[in-house]
Chains A and B, each alone.
Chain A
């Protein structure tokens, strides 16, 4: 999950390193996702997400395509 100057730079980097283009989104979207995923990590009441809870965080951030389906992921 890297930060690029522009979508053109993403495309060039993917071409050079022969990596398939994944998902691209804005920094404000990234900050929103970071808050939703990590915002309560310092709380004594924090508990690991279950897979459905983690998927719900992604869904609420508008990340609903197949690329964002956790399915077999560990957490």
Chain B
């Protein structure tokens, strides 16, 4: 029988600390980096991060158990770069790229390319709205299958 996890205050505290790190530093930290930043043993951080993954709040790398996705942020380079002020982050898709300025409530520039013709596409979000809105968003995967393969989705 699968044990159902409940989102606890400890989960919430670690999640918030992780997100604040990402916003401040412009990248998803390695576990050792997060442990050092929070002055906590790496084993505790690893266990806490694993719980957040079991709660579907994070996605971990299969081999290393490092954090791959803390939505809407992505740990490794992708086709979606989001710049806000002096910081920049990777996002896994256009929805997550738009989510970064939405979440930060800051202006941002999103750089990507059309997957069909490879031509660069630049978006600017200012004061909560889009300055230009070239192009259309395509969702290939139905909502019921989003979490089957989050990398493809």
> Do A and B originate from a single complex?
yes
Total number of A residues with any Cβ neighbor in B under 8 Å:
49
CA of A24 to CA of B143, assembled, Å: 13
Query: Number of contact residues on B: which range applies?
Result: 35 or more
On whether the beta carbons of A73 and B141 are closer than 8 Å, the reply is no
On whether the beta carbons of A2 and B137 are closer than 8 Å, the reply is yes
Residue of A12, A66, A74 with highest tally of chain B CB at under 10 A? A74
Dominant secondary structure at the A interface:
mixed
CB proximity to B under 8 Å, residues A4-42: 4-7, 9-10, 12-14, 16, 19-31, 33-35, 37-39, 41-42
CA of A66 to CA of B15, assembled, Å: 32
CA of A35 to CA of B138, assembled, Å: 18
Residues of A within 8 A of B (CB): 1-7, 9-10, 12-14, 16, 19-31, 33-35, 37-39, 41-42, 44, 46-48, 58, 66-75
